[in-house]
A and B are shown apart, each in its own frame.
Chain A
Amino acid sequence: MKKTITDQLSLGWFWVSGLLILVILLAIILYLIWRGGPFISSQFILDSPHGVPLGTEGGIFPAIKGTLWLIVLALVISIVPGLLTAMYLSEYGRSGRLAEIINLLVQSMAGVPSIIIGLFVYALGVVTLGWGISLLAGGLALAIMIFPVIVISSRDALLAVDKNYRLVANSLGVSKSYTLYRVILPRAAAGITAGVLLSLGYAAGATAPIMVTAAAFVASSSGALLEPVMALPYHLYILFNEHISLNHAYATALVLVTLVLFLNILALSLSSWQERINKQ
């Protein structure tokens, strides 16, 4: 087999692009650790922002708390409708016309930019319903944002369950809902949980939707639904954009990335576990 110049060049192109991406991620992580790491301490994690201007000293505890409140609320709002929609698509609708339309709508919803969801919740929750800038509005915005992610990942997890379980249950005269609840759902549980964790990581890092609906630079983040909260991504944005503290911005970014990557890695290992279950 003769190797031409084109062959060599294209091979170089494939290798370079593959390795470059590896290098970029490593560079991002290592740079964040190098610049932010020295400022992470128990005080930084567990204290509120202090100093003049505010945020130059102290920590980011209320922002961590606020982000956790936001993603938990988003999960509480979206999990039931998300799972029910996924169950419809995988078990009840299958190839019907309605299922086709719902699939298309969910797919399109996944493509809607997060700032548009923020805009919608701003008009509906913050202004029309009079919630103001609040945890509730931010949780709703994030819930709408992760709803399609939960639907799509749960649907796929349910569809991946071996069809023989359904056939056997059906032939034994077990009702559809019992089969779903006791046979299919347990076998898809790891995959569904993985999708949910992934969507939580996505919500924890989202800035645009909470910037217009929920976030404040200073707040106690007590969990009161109608009060603004601090949040990690927004805190990072303000620390940098208002030139408050570059060091704390790096440290905040490191905390945020650690939180999100932790959720992602957990999700990744759960879904590979799920794959092993499916192969059994």
Chain B
Amino acid sequence: MTYPGTELKEKIISSIIISAATVSSLLLLAMLLFILRESWPIWSQIGVSGFLSGSSWRPLNTPPEIGILSMIVSTVWVAGGALLIAAPLGFGCAIFLAEFAPRPLAAVLRPVINMLTGIPSVVYGFLGAAVLVKFFEVKFDLASGESLFAASLVLAIMVIPFIVANSEAALRSVAAEYRHAGIALGVSRQYLTLRILVPLAGKGMLGALVLAFGRAMGETMAVLMLAGNTLRLPGSWFDKGEPLSALIALELGSTTPGSLHYQALFAAGLVLVLMVMAVNLGINLLLNRLQKGGTLT
């Protein structure tokens, strides 16, 4: 039963909501297109492969040398290294929370982990630089303690909460029958967890890891303050480097709009955002396929 006029009003309201949702979601595409437009001269003049594989960044030289290989390597190295540190701790903590933690401890730990995500990245970067880097300098007698490793270490602390939250959710979503069957067979709690629950939750835990990787690649302040910011190609984890995000944050303010330098920073930004999105979309596709093909064992 509707009164005259109600239908029109409903139509208007629903079309307002639909158009607002559509327009604001299209913002993402607008952002990508805008960044592509600003960086277009780089792609047409230097070319995709030249820009990606060039390892020297001297945009103000004549002729300018513009290549971001060192930054791409730094980005991947810092983020990959962070996962190397964060994965065992994050998974361990997720399993602890899901299966082993006494109730009162879990009730404390969960909000604590929640709070870790709230601490701003600049604070992590600051503490890392003021405490950790200082410690490296004194301990190993270095002139400066910044390195990709220092950045990875702090990034690891930053991404652990995401790994924990997502992996715990994955572990909890395993059907109860498996748990019951395991207990009925008399296997130990640890065996049950590591051999039955973790393989069944593997998909979700892998997803958690990959999401953390995407987040680590895009992180700016912590890596900016810890990685050392040298534009050379890093040769080891303990070298200095300058990830893409740090490059953009440090140099954007000093460029002349429209200059080659300015355009090159937008090209670097496009590369970074596409890397992150490829990782995020890739994991979605992978998970969907696995969902159809059964479990990840």
Which A residues lie at the B interface, using CB under 8 A?
A: 1-4, 6-7, 10-11, 13-18, 20-22, 24-25, 28, 31-32, 80-82, 84-85, 87-89, 91-93, 98, 101-102, 105-109, 111-120, 122-124, 127, 144, 147, 173, 175-177, 198, 201-202, 204-208, 211-212, 233-234, 236-237, 240-241, 246, 249-250, 253, 256-257, 260-261, 263-265, 268
Q: Name 29 interchain pairs, CB-CB below 8 A, sorted by A.
A: A7-B191, A18-B97, A18-B109, A21-B160, A22-B109, A24-B116, A28-B127, A81-B24, A102-B22, A111-B214, A111-B276, A112-B273, A114-B218, A114-B220, A115-B218, A116-B269, A144-B31, A147-B27, A176-B10, A198-B118, A205-B122, A207-B221, A208-B121, A212-B249, A233-B221, A234-B122, A236-B122, A237-B125, A241-B225
Q: Which of B60-68, B85-93, B135-143, B173-181 forms part of the interface with chain A?
A: B85-93
- Chain B binding surface, main DSSP class: helix
Q: Which of B13-21, B45-53, B199-207 forms part of the interface with chain A?
A: B13-21
**A240 and B130 contacting across the interface, CB-CB below 8 Å:** yes
**A116 and B272 contacting across the interface, CB-CB below 8 Å:** yes
Which residues on B sit within 8 Å (CB–CB) of A201? 118
B197: CB under 8 A from chain A? no
**B35 and A120 contacting across the interface, CB-CB below 8 Å:** yes
Among the interface residues B21, B27, B191, which one has the most CB atoms of the partner chain A within 10 A?
B21
**A208 and B112 contacting across the interface, CB-CB below 8 Å:** no
**A208 and B249 contacting across the interface, CB-CB below 8 Å:** yes
**B120 and A237 contacting across the interface, CB-CB below 8 Å:** no
Which residues on A sit within 8 Å (CB–CB) of B269? 115-116, 119
**B281 and A207 contacting across the interface, CB-CB below 8 Å:** no
Distance of A74 Cα from B109 Cα, bound (Å): 31
**A21 and B164 contacting across the interface, CB-CB below 8 Å:** yes
The listed residue (A108, A111, A123, A233) touching B122 by CB distance below 8 A is A233
The listed residue (B21, B97, B276) touching A112 by CB distance below 8 A is B276
- Beyond A204-B120, A211-B253, 7 extra complex contacts between A and B, CB < 8 Å: A14-B96, A80-B20, A88-B21, A109-B25, A112-B277, A113-B217, A237-B221
Which residues on B sit within 8 Å (CB–CB) of A250? 130
Closest partner residue, chain A, to B6 (CB atom): A175
B294: CB under 8 A from chain A? no
B297: CB under 8 A from chain A? no
Digit string of B1-45 for contact with A (CB within 8 Å is 1, else 0)? 110001001100110111011111111110100110010000000
Distance of A80 Cα from B17 Cα, bound (Å): 10
Which residues on B sit within 8 Å (CB–CB) of A176? 10, 13-14
The listed residue (A144, A211, A265) touching B249 by CB distance below 8 A is A211
**A18 and B96 contacting across the interface, CB-CB below 8 Å:** yes
Closest partner residue, chain B, to A126 (CB atom): B257
Distance of A24 Cα from B264 Cα, bound (Å): 39
Closest partner residue, chain B, to A8 (CB atom): B190
Given contacts A112-B31, A116-B31, A201-B118, A18 and B252 within 8 Å (CB-CB): no
Chain B: number of interface residues, binned into ranges: 35 or more
B151: CB under 8 A from chain A? no
**A175 and B188 contacting across the interface, CB-CB below 8 Å:** no
Closest partner residue, chain B, to A250 (CB atom): B130
Which residues on B sit within 8 Å (CB–CB) of A204? 120
In the assembled complex, the CB of B225 is this many whole angstroms from the nearest CB of chain A, namely: 7
Which residues on A sit within 8 Å (CB–CB) of B193? 10
Among the interface residues B23, B31, B129, which one has the most CB atoms of the partner chain A within 10 A?
B31
**A208 and B220 contacting across the interface, CB-CB below 8 Å:** yes
**A147 and B112 contacting across the interface, CB-CB below 8 Å:** no
In the assembled complex, the CB of B176 is this many whole angstroms from the nearest CB of chain A, namely: 20
Which residues on B sit within 8 Å (CB–CB) of A237? 122, 125-126, 221, 225
B219: CB under 8 A from chain A? yes
Distance of A32 Cα from B127 Cα, bound (Å): 9
Which residues on B sit within 8 Å (CB–CB) of A124? 34
**B17 and A257 contacting across the interface, CB-CB below 8 Å:** no
Among the interface residues A17, A112, A119, A122, which one has the most CB atoms of the partner chain B within 10 A?
A119
B296: CB under 8 A from chain A? no
Which residues on B sit within 8 Å (CB–CB) of A91? 17
Which residues on A sit within 8 Å (CB–CB) of B160? 21
Given contacts A113-B220, A173-B2, A105 and B26 within 8 Å (CB-CB): yes
B248: CB under 8 A from chain A? yes
In the assembled complex, the CB of B191 is this many whole angstroms from the nearest CB of chain A, namely: 7
In the assembled complex, the CB of B215 is this many whole angstroms from the nearest CB of chain A, namely: 8
**B218 and A112 contacting across the interface, CB-CB below 8 Å:** yes
